[in-house]
Structure 1
Amino acid sequence: MYKTLLTRWLPLRLIKKECYLQPGDFKRPLSVRQQWTRQLSISVVCCKKRRSEEEKAFSSGRPAIRYSPKGGSEVVGIWRNMTVQDLANVLKKDVDHVFKALEFADKTSDTDYKKDTVIHNPQIIRDVVKISGFRFKIISNPDKETEEEENKDAVPAPPAPPEALKPRPPVVCVMGHVDHGKTTLLDSLRDTSVVDQEFGGITQHIGAFEVKLQSGDKVTFLDTPGHAAFSAMRSRGALATDIVVLVVAADDGVMEQTVESIRMAREARVPILVAINKIDKPGVNIERTMRSLAQHGIVCEALGGDVQAIPVSALKKQNLDTLVEALTLQAQLMDLKADPGGYVEGVVIEALLDPKTGKQATVLVQRGTLRRGSVIVAGTGWAKVRVLNTADGQTVQEAPPSTPVSVLGWRELPSAGDQVLEVASEKRANEVMKWRHSQRMKEKQVVDLEAIEAKEAEHNAQYQATLARKRAMGRFKLRRQGPREKMIQEDTHPTLNVFVKGDVDGSVEAILDILETYDEHDRVRLDLVNFGVGPVTPNDLEIAEAFNAVIYAFNVDCPTPLTVEAKKKNIPIKKHNIIYKLVDDVKEELSARIPVSQEEEIVGEANVLQQFMVSEGKKKVPVAGCRCMKGSLARNALYRVIRGQDVVFEGKLASMKHLKDEVNTIKRDMECGLRFADPTFEVQPGDTIVCYKMVDAPVTTGWDPGF
């Protein structure tokens, strides 16, 4: 009877297990009854310990998960100081059900329970859950989590009152097609030669600088790349500007990026001024250029529209005064003002990691005055401003609205295009970063949940199909389809793993956008292993070695020790400073990984004159008497016999003879005897014999990134 009572709830493995006394006692196996008694005491102690831990976690309010003994199949979450209504909502029952359960769970108290009554005793909440047929787990109060998440992010301040607004310089964005003279125009306005320092003669970064005109007015210019790869940079420039100067070359007219710049300016809802450049070239037609612009909705004043078009020569500095006057007039009509006081607001134009000065970002101040010591947040990065530098390298103490400055002091580097907001303290900046990180994690969880649910649905579909097949066959288990070694298949698909390092965040973004356009994954997969801003580091080599990746260093250096180490580890590091050359290199790497295809190469051609039957031992075999008409015939090549329009034989030769000699080659206009490998095949006079061989054909990728 004692044994039967214990075996009802003690696990069999515990009953059968040998138990020994403490190390100080003599070591001999216990009797069966002693084993049962000891296991019973161990189980009781474990149950008491688990229950005490649950009560401690419940009373402390921490979200430690503790499951109750089996009281049902569904698990519900409970927390400290729940109300009757909260308990009803969790159990998905009405309040009357909870009232009835409380009569059994709380017999000693005289509490008059109502909907909003707080249940302070955690044991009563657990008993109600068990009575209702559920199991429980302890979680944190979801209402408190929602309250804690509110008002943690930094937000822009309300609009300033009219009396606080002061005039500010205009922000002008220069846009247009590549090689139409945008940077040359800006060099002429500020007497510099930036265009001579650019790789390949094209702009690959967005530049921001302030120009002081002869009239004493200041204008902030944004120089955007015209290359097709830098569409995101142009879009950021259009959104951060007041006026767009559309540069169109008089000899080329309206091109693809010109149309894109017009579209971006319209989306940003900013006025457009047209600068028709290169008028010093012979044979240019300014009127034709204006008509081309009119076809895309830009009607110039000369054609009866309202868009100012100024013919200029950036190289010869012709009519630049007229362009400046038009910009000043447009800015006066717009009456641009901003609040120089209060918290700073702005936008990140570009971000980079300098080997000497560290993390820095070019910020265009749009509101407030940025000073040294200010604490700002932008995207996933924040900074306590240590140094403010202008575009020409001069250090300033403050930056009023419409001033572009390079900010040093970033803890984490922001991304180009992030909004810059000033906060009160470093503590507040850390609070904003934690909140934004939690929001990103929640967004990632939502995306991951969708992928998990899709995978579960696929798995369930396969399981149901397998289950239906087993039921139809009347088996509990299905036999394996093959050996285990065959079931485990390695992925042998050719893959190019890429690691991108760039000088600035905008360049990395442009390269990643280009790689996103790759669409030939069925031939060769293109996988992005990692990317970053700044020079190549030892950690980059470790990642590249693990993934067998190619490191593309765009406009950044790789230290000599790392270059030597990369050669030892067979890690290719490819340096480029022009984006389309980098793309060409990626194309070559992809083409090198495409499986080689075989193509036919015609070696020669012969006509069948007559068929002979030749004794081969005791057998008669057919031999084709031929004359080589084109090229030559090779003994080890492949042959195809064409009769009329049909191919009647394809294969190899068994013998090639000239007169009575076995030869390897038959030249043009020579006669020969050919015996094919198939002894049953017979030729007919007039058949054409084509000699060919299979050669490896170079295969190139057909990927077109759009430029």
Structure 2
Amino acid sequence: MGKIRISLLAKELGVKSNLLIDKCHEKGLSHITHHANTLISDQAEMIRQLFKPTPPITPAKEEPKVKETPPIRETEQKQGDKTVLQRSGSVKVVQPAKIVMIPKSQPLPQRMVKVAPSKTFWKKKRPSTVVPVKRKEPEVQVTDLQKPVVKEKETRVTMEPPITVKDLSAKLGIRANEIITKLLLGHNVRSTINQILAEDIVQLLGIEYGVEIEIKKKELVEERDFIAEQISTKAEDMVYRAPIVTFLGHVDHGKTSLLDSIRQTNVAAGEVGGITQHIGAYKVETNGKHVVFLDTPGHEAFTAMRARGANITDVVVLVVAADDGVMPQTEEALNHAKAANVPIVVAVNKIDKPDANPLRVKQQLASLELISEEWGGKTQFVETSAVTKKGINTLLERLLLESEILELKANPRNPARGVVLEAHLSEGRGVVANVLIQDGTLRQGDIVLCGKTFGRVRLITTDRGIEVTEAGPTTPVSVSDFSAVPDAGDKFYVVGDIQKAREIAQGRQKKDRESALAKHQHVTLDSLYSKIAEGKVKEIKVILKADYKGSVEVLKKALEELSTQEIKVKILHCGVGGITESDVLLADASDAIVIGFYVTTEDKARILAEDKGVDVRLYKIIYDATNEIKSAMEGMLEPESKEVVLGQVEIRLVYNISKFGNVAGCYVKTGKITRNSSVRLIRNTIIIYDGKLESLKIVKDDVKEVRAGFECGLKIANYDDIKVGDIVEAYEVQKFARSLPV
């Protein structure tokens, strides 16, 4: 009886594996939990029947009837001394021309034409002659479509900073002197006509003049302005692209040996040890398909690139030594991979060692929420050995399977775009950048924009050291030359205009200089409330380091228990030992707070934290750490609202005042009623209306409140249906500070 894998059946049916797994569950096949699970032929046929298409029934459409418009006819009729043009929809009245004779003794009006009798009129004065001018009265066309257009005053305008008094005057149509006077008297701001105003002052002035001013900062020309026009996502142009894989793991667990073993096994002898190490990536072919490996196995480099926005890795291989098990750096690498939100394949390496125990590795990783598919999880485990080459091909097959599930595709017809792996200044070639093309095709002569630099591609070299004229998707190459050395992690794009590339690069340089003066402000315990108020934070991300494993577990549990429905405490990474550069890099990339318990911060990490603006807190008492975060969280909680009844008022008389409405003469039975309190109108124990007071008086005097035992007059805002005997209940909503549960 034949079997078929879920991923292959999904590819056959043209659907997602997750959808296929759901259909299996609907049919009682609960053992199917992963795309690598298999179905027997009968089960597969049953699932195929669910995806058989049914022919759609399309109802016949009636052709819309076109309403014919009668032709416009025009007739001319004589009515006395007037000629009337009649046409469908309008009447045009043409007045006959009038001849006006003006005596010579009277001065010529503005519409008269004075004609000189000779060209030499300036030599000898001659009497001028008056020529009668035919003056036509304006033609009047009577039509219902002509209406006067009244231009409404703008109530919303958009301005770009910097904004001066002169700019504001021109935009609002208000004299500059008036604005300067208002600034001085109303805002205590002395200014001149060319002085740049603060944005909040500009918006306040707009409110005072009844105009909403939207300050829209001029955006730099970025790649999004032209990339969308260049990229084509037509299905017929898309082709399979190789997955990009990064190896992570603990020191001395065999990452480099495993990479070297893969390279020697699957790359021709002429390609071994070439320029691969300098490119930073290389391709491996298996079963007619390719896998691209990044030569940056250290998780610090992995996180540093992710911090720059270069999420280029499709799959992470977590390497764990079978004889050593999960170590602190293994757990740290796992947290980095989870933070990047990419699929993880576990390579249980050094399986050839006598004391290898792969079962212990699976158990340890299961406690870290990385469960093998053999145990009902979704993570693929492969036993490998760099010495005996065991499991190498299986690992490559699993990586290809993951790439099929991800449906990685690219369009070679697009202009190339990708990311810089590393760059340097070569003595013979100038600036050389080692890049990975993610989409499109890079050709010699292309104009490339890369971070704060730009240039024209003059030389393309593959990872094997071979010069080529073009390179397609998912290909690591070395290119030259650029105007300056780009940073690792910078994205590059092919553009059609070198002037545009220069403009964008210079704009980015300017932006970097400005941001150097005002660096990015990370979340701190002091700024947490303002971040929450702005809607920028929904959870507190914490990196936890302590002196002992037991302390880590206790502190982790105590912090996580502080979570509420409104704000969560999420532990991104926890470990034993001092605070390192890797911890600061992860906090910088994830906008987290670093908490250390009975540990110190390394010198390089301290300098890096100050440079990146990462908040590092050190404690010696667990309760100090939990109480400080608890206090910060309590300040972020929305205050609790509670309704308090102030008093009840009985309506005894109703007066109707013209242009004012119904006014109630009342008696305060209990408590009090205030001018600012909310009120309910109650009739026969049923709430008729809930609103606010418009006025509260004793006789003719306005008062702020009236207490029990006194009479008063009141008017309910926007409501007149009041009757004798109704009860007006006064209440207010009070807010109380909340605290976290003990």
TM-score of Structure 1 vs Structure 2, range by shorter chain:
0.3 to 0.5
TM-score (normalizing by structure 1): 0.43
TM-score normalised to structure 2 length: 0.41
Give the helix-richer structure, 1 or 2.
Answer: 1
